[in-house]
Amino acid sequence: MPFDPNDIMKDRITDIGPPKYDNFFPPYIKENYGKWKYHEILEPGVLVHVAETGAEVYTVRTGAPRLMSVDYIREVCEIADKHCGGYVRWTTRNNIEFMVDDKSKLQPLIDDLRSRGNWFPMGGTGASVTNIVHTQGWVHCHTPAIDASGIVKSVMDELFDYFGSHKLPAQVRISLACCLNMCGAVHCSDIAILGVHRKPPFVEHDRVQNVCEIPLVIAACPTAAIKPKKVGDRKSVEINQNRCMFCGNCYTMCPALPIADGDGDGIALWVGGKVSNSRTAPKFSKLAVPYIPNEPPRWPTVVQTIKKIVEVYASDARRYERIGEWIERIGWERFFEKTGLEFRHEHIDDYRLAMTTWRTTTQFKF
Amino acid sequence: MALKHKTPMLEELEKGPWPSFVADIRRMAARKPMCEDLLGLLELSYEQKEGHWKHGGIVGVFGYGGGVIGRYCDRPDLFPNVAHFHTLRVNQPASKFYSTEQLRKICDMWEEKGSGLTNMHGSTGDMVLLGTTTDQLEPVFYHLTHELGMDLGGSGSNLRTPSCCIGKARCEWSCLDTQEITYDLTMTYQDELHRPMFPYKFKFKTSGCPNDCVAAIARADCSIIGTWRDKIRIDQEAVRAYAAGELVPNGGSHGTAKRALDIQKEVVDLCPTGCMEWDGKTLKIWDEDCTRCMHCINVMPRALRPGQDTGATILFGAKAPILEGAQLSSVVIPFMKMEPPYDEFKELIEKVWDWWMENGKNRERLGELIQRFGMKAFLEAIEVQPDPRMIKTPRYNPYIFYDPADVPGGWEHDPKAFRERHHA
Ligand code: HEM
Ligand code: HEM
Ligand code: HEM
Ligand code: SF4
Ligand code: SF4
Ligand code: SF4
Ligand code: SF4
């Protein structure tokens, strides 16, 4: 029964949810489900899991650009058909994992992946820089201050060596969000790249009444910078520019308050977040660099700043220390000194619980 | 091939070792005018350093209130093939295993009915089909449900697509059937997922252990994180093998060369509670003091394993900064057994939703409502007793509220009797 455009309610199926997860489990995953005993990383990008039954599964993890065409996916399928019995999976950081159930199948798979140019770099395991969790950017969203895919590509090219090696004190998670909505994993990452604005929105008074619900716009502002205002006989809003910190949330609610600006927009870098509970509790990322301009297509300043942070961390931190743990041990004053990053007014919090972030002790380093 | 538009800046991004999204889109552009115009539009954004998508866009499929993100380009005069460029969120199988047969079918459908571009995957977990026109939305949905057995994921003020870590499918530490929980919740709450009925969005995420590989504690209004209540299982032989350099520490995360693990320095001294002791022969753990951080298990996966009395810690309230500031989830249920059909968990969730739906303001996340009304009101509404495991520290201000019923004599005063005791 093909789709009938003249009777679209006919044969409608709803609420079936996703395919059940185990429909697509390879047989050795199904058989050993919940029976895994231990794992080991054999080389960067290659894991082995051993079950209580003695069964083994070898996993090869490869980087991927997340934004991918059906041709890319078809090539993934071709590899999975050839080596993996027609199964494959994606990770929570958008890497691809190819699995085989016998050691003899591993090297042919690796050789095949390596023969395919740049498309399937192996890595992302252990104490590496793995894939960058990121967002839509200029490819699809209307509220970004920066692009996503282009910056991710530029950073990964520069840090590529760290993707396929295990030479860091611990894993480094980098994330990117192109505006403060943060559709990704950024606030709790070792290094976070965030798109920021620096100019208040402008108000298109002739459109506000037609396209916006004014009370929603007023309620959208975290700093209460927006008031209703009559302009001629039209209802509109007024923005107190001194209270606006350019979050863009009012534009999310109201198309007549555009905020994007090629000269004002750019990037803030944050450091020291983590989500795992290992050793220390999960941490938020904190501001390291308030602003770097957008420099398409390669964003050299951002890339070099991130590289610098990674290198200083790699040479100074102890084994197992995540970036946030390292900074807490040496102190923020040393972090700024060692990385050479400038400390500015913007680093000092001034929102609500700001006081809890100031130093209320005489313990500090000169 | 030569593109209709000049893209000198994007071409820079075809260089370098990381897989290039530009090279990938470009090979599709040969067959798909939509991809060609997308590259042209993106190049314009690179030149002007501003995005070129119009605000918002409300489109969808009949019967559902979400699942599709509408997008219109703001220069259809220059790039007519991306004048409409809507996204569909397709609910992924839990932990993202696929058969190539299924993937190929999706690719064929999407090459025919859409741009041929995807995100594998969105950060909530959905398979994201990126870019099609309004008239194709119903045909795509029909094909998904009839031919592929797949449904849309969530968007809008509703339950979003739940997701989880790989769990028991390929991890020895998982204390939960993360996929089973995710699938069960997704199926039980299909209505809440497809038809927005909440004050704002709501997300579930499930990790099998406190390593939290799906970042549940940061990215879900309800975070379900596996844990155990009994003892860490120790294989003393294997511990000695790590000390002797016969096994590679941390599963090889710091290089695969064999080296003697300094158990005192790398495990015992880094234990956050100092509950371990190593005398060179035997590793002792005082489990009653262990906070199950996973560090020792991560470092010696062949010697240490989580306990067997497993369940979940349930935390609530994570959200991104907009509006009231970012929050991580906070512990509400220190331990709950998680076995199908998860009735105890579902009763809890429904109480949470009832309270939030009744009291939440428009676009107020659960975490913000808990802040506004207080943790006490939240706990009372969901009938949970206070527990010291819910806090990092007791309050340090003395501004404490009391219920008049808890104070002898209530809040009524007898001014005359007071003045008889105390002359003004
Ligand atoms: C048996 C051992 C482990 C397995 C099978 C496992 C599995 C995974 C997988 C498949 C991913 C997605 C990875 C990617 O996309 O590149 C992941 C991510 C992650 N893992 Fe693990 N992991 C293990 C050990 C650990 C350890 C030891 C930690 C912490 C110390 C940890 C914390 C995390 C975190 C925080 C993420 C990232 C989540 C995110 O930001 O999306 N995992 N893990
Ligand atoms: C304005 C247009 C927006 C677009 C195009 C957009 C796009 C997306 C996409 C594609 C995802 C991944 C979805 C999935 O996997 O199913 C996502 C996730 C997310 N969005 Fe947005 N978003 C928008 C607005 C917002 C707003 C207004 C907020 C918050 C105020 C927001 C917060 C988030 C968060 C926190 C996630 C991550 C969820 C998770 O990891 O579970 N987004 N967004
Ligand atoms: C100290 C400042 C920050 C705090 C306290 C914070 C906290 C949080 C919290 C609790 C969430 C949960 C998200 C949810 O699902 O609603 C979140 C989400 C997010 N944050 Fe942050 N964040 C901070 C800064 C940042 C920065 C600087 C970035 C980007 C560079 C960022 C990017 C994100 C993203 C992408 C998400 C979405 C995660 C998701 O839901 O998948 N955050 N943030
Ligand atoms: S982070 Fe902001 S700009 Fe980027 S996709 Fe999400 S809402 Fe859009
Ligand atoms: S950009 Fe943010 S702070 Fe500025 S007026 Fe709009 S909502 Fe308020
Ligand atoms: S969260 Fe724990 S159980 Fe799940 S994959 Fe990560 S380490 Fe394994
Ligand atoms: S799990 Fe953490 S707290 Fe428990 S014994 Fe191991 S290192 Fe210590």
A206-225 confidence digits (pLDDT tens): 999 999 999 999 999 999 99
Q: A4: nearest CA in chain B?
A: B139
User: Which residues of B fall within a CB distance of 8 Å from A303?
Assistant: none
* Single residue among B305, B340, B368 that ends a domain in this structure: B305
The stretch A251-273 carries a mean pLDDT of 95
Q: A319: nearest CA in chain B?
A: B266
What are phi and psi for residue B315, nearest 5 degrees? Answer: -125, 150
Taking each helix axis from N to C end, the angle separating B21-29 and A70-83, rounded to the nearest 10 degrees, works out to 100
Q: Where in chain A is the domain with CATH 3.30.70.3340?
A: 21-116
First vs last C-alpha separation in chain A: 77
User: Which residues of B fall within a CB distance of 8 Å from A87?
Assistant: 97-100
pLDDT, chain A, mean: 96
The stretch A270-286 carries a mean pLDDT of 96
User: Which residues of B fall within a CB distance of 8 Å from A279?
Assistant: 270, 272, 293, 295
- The neighbouring-strand residues paired with B129 are B88, B118
Say if residue B116 is in the same domain as residue B54.
yes
Say if residue B241 is in the same domain as residue B352.
no
Contact A91 B328 (CB under 8 A): no
Residue pair A159/A135 in contact by the 8 Å Cβ criterion: no
Q: How many CB pairs under 8 A join A and B?
A: 385
CA distance A56 to chain B (A): 10
Contact B212 A276 (CB under 8 A): yes
**Predicted pLDDT at B325:** 81
- Per-residue 3-state assignment (H helix, E strand, C coil) for A144-193: CCCCCHHHHHHHHHHCHHHHCCCCCCCCECEEEECCCCCCCCCCCCCEEE
| Confidence check: pLDDT of A1 > 80 | no
Say if residue B332 is in the same domain as residue B355.
yes
d(CA A292, CA A301): 7
Q: Where in chain A is the domain with CATH 3.30.413.10?
A: 148-198+262-357
Show contacts of A1-9: CB within 8 Å, 24+ apart.
A1/B146, A3/B138, A3/B139, A3/B142, A3/B143, A3/B146, A5/B138, A5/B139, A8/B62, A8/B138, A9/B62
Q: Does the CB atom of residue A283 touch ligand 3 within 6 A?
A: no
What is the pLDDT confidence band of residue B418, given thresholds at 50, 70 and 90? very high
CA distance A205 to chain B (A): 17
User: Which residues of A fall within a CB distance of 8 Å from B117?
Assistant: 67-70
**Predicted pLDDT at A360:** 87
CA distance A186 to chain B (A): 9
Contact B110 A140 (CB under 8 A): no
What is the pLDDT confidence band of residue B255, given thresholds at 50, 70 and 90? confident
Residue B416 belongs to some domain of the structure:
no
Say if residue B299 is in the same domain as residue B324.
no
d(CA B181, CA A332): 41
Contact B51 A219 (CB under 8 A): no
**Centroid of ligand 6 to alpha carbon of B255 (angstroms):** 21
Query: What total number of domains does chain B contain?
Result: 3
Report the nearest-CA residue for atom 4 of ligand 5.
A244
Domain spanning A207-253, CATH architecture? 2-Layer Sandwich (3.30)
Residue B138 belongs to some domain of the structure:
yes
Q: Which residue is it, tokens 């900064």?
A: B321
d(CA B155, CA B195): 9
Residues A322-340: tens digit of each pLDDT: 999 999 999 999 999 999 9
CA distance B412 to chain A (A): 36
> Which of these, B225, B161, B215, B149, lies nearest to B193 by C-alpha position?
B161
Q: Which residues in A322-351 are b (16+ Cβ under 10 Å) and which e?
A: bbbbbbeebebeebbebbebeeeeebeeee
Contact A15 B191 (CB under 8 A): yes
Contact B183 A319 (CB under 8 A): no
Residue B310 belongs to some domain of the structure:
no
| Confidence check: pLDDT of A78 > 90 | yes
| Confidence check: pLDDT of A260 > 80 | yes
> Which of these, A101, A164, A335, lies nearest to B170 by C-alpha position?
A101
Contact A118 B177 (CB under 8 A): no
A124: exposed, middle or buried (Cβ count in 10 Å: 0-12, 13-18, 19+): buried
Contact B103 A153 (CB under 8 A): no
Residue B79 forms contact with A (CB below 8 Å): no
Contact A18 B177 (CB under 8 A): no
User: Which residues of A fall within a CB distance of 8 Å from B165?
Assistant: 92
| Confidence check: pLDDT of A128 > 90 | yes
Q: Does the CB atom of residue B194 touch ligand 2 within 6 A?
A: no
The stretch A213-241 carries a mean pLDDT of 95
In CATH, what number is assigned to the domain containing residue B338? 3.30.413.10
Residues A341-359: tens digit of each pLDDT: 999 999 999 988 898 999 9
| Confidence check: pLDDT of B1 > 60 | no
Say if residue B196 is in the same domain as residue B214.
yes
Residue B239 structural domain: 233-305
Say if residue B83 is in the same domain as residue B130.
yes
Residue B54 belongs to some domain of the structure:
yes
Residue B3 belongs to some domain of the structure:
no
pLDDT, chain B, mean: 96
Residue B93 forms contact with A (CB below 8 Å): yes
Report the nearest-CA residue for atom 8 of ligand 7.
B271
Residue B120 forms contact with A (CB below 8 Å): yes
Residue pair A279/B292 in contact by the 8 Å Cβ criterion: no
Out of A11, A65, A262, whose CB is closest to B20? Answer: A65
Say if residue B279 is in the same domain as residue B331.
no
User: Which residues of B fall within a CB distance of 8 Å from A81?
Assistant: 100
Contact A276 B294 (CB under 8 A): yes
Residue pair A25/B177 in contact by the 8 Å Cβ criterion: no
What percentage of chain B exceeds 70 in pLDDT? 100
Say if residue B133 is in the same domain as residue B65.
yes
And the tokens for A285? 């990322």
And the tokens for A166? 């295990």
The sign of the CA dihedral A181, A183, A185, A191 is: negative
And the tokens for A356? 């809890």
Contact B252 A21 (CB under 8 A): no
User: Which residues of B fall within a CB distance of 8 Å from A63?
Assistant: 18-19
A296: exposed, middle or buried (Cβ count in 10 Å: 0-12, 13-18, 19+): buried
**Centroid of ligand 1 to alpha carbon of A171 (angstroms):** 10
What percentage of chain A exceeds 70 in pLDDT? 99
| Confidence check: pLDDT of A107 > 60 | yes
**Predicted pLDDT at A111:** 98
CA distance B52 to chain A (A): 7
Residue pair B88/B132 in contact by the 8 Å Cβ criterion: yes
User: Which residues of B fall within a CB distance of 8 Å from A220?
Assistant: 323, 363
**Centroid of ligand 2 to alpha carbon of B194 (angstroms):** 16
Q: Does the CB atom of residue A184 touch ligand 3 within 6 A?
A: yes
Say if residue B241 is in the same domain as residue B361.
no
The stretch B41-68 carries a mean pLDDT of 94
- Per-residue 3-state assignment (H helix, E strand, C coil) for chain A: CCCCCCCCCCCCCCCCCCCCHHHHCCHHHHHCCCCEEEEEEEECCEEEEEECCCCEEEEEEECCCCEEEHHHHHHHHHHHHHHCCCEEEECCCCCEEEEECCHHHHHHHHHHHHCCCCCCCECCCCCCECCCECCCHHHCCCCCCCCCHHHHHHHHHHCHHHHCCCCCCCCECEEEECCCCCCCCCCCCCEEEEEECCCCCCCCHHHHHHHCCHHHHHHCCCCCCEEEEEECCEEEEEECCCCCCCCCHHHHHCCCCCCCCCCCCEEEEEECCECCCCCCCCECCEEEEEEEECCCCCCHHHHHHHHHHHHHHHHHCCCCCCHHHHHHHHCHHHHHHHHCCCCCHHHCCCCHHHHHHCCCCCCCCC
And the tokens for B395? 């309050």
Say if residue B130 is in the same domain as residue B20.
yes
Which is the closest atom of ligand 5 to the Cα of A249?
A: 7
Say if residue B71 is in the same domain as residue B141.
yes
Label residue B356 left, alpha or beta by phi (over 0 means left) and psi (-120 to 50 means alpha). alpha
Query: Residues near B187 by Cβ (< 8 Å), separated by ≥ 6?
Result: A17
**Centroid of ligand 3 to alpha carbon of A172 (angstroms):** 17
User: What's the CATH fold of domain A148-198+262-357?
Assistant: Sulfite Reductase Hemoprotein; domain 1 (3.30.413)
Say if residue B215 is in the same domain as residue B250.
no
**Centroid of ligand 1 to alpha carbon of A44 (angstroms):** 14
What is the pLDDT confidence band of residue A185, given thresholds at 50, 70 and 90? low
First vs last C-alpha separation in chain B: 96
* Single residue among B281, B305, B329 that ends a domain in this structure: B305
d(CA B228, CA A112): 42
Domain spanning A21-116, CATH architecture? 2-Layer Sandwich (3.30)
Out of A14, A74, A133, whose CB is closest to B123? Answer: A133
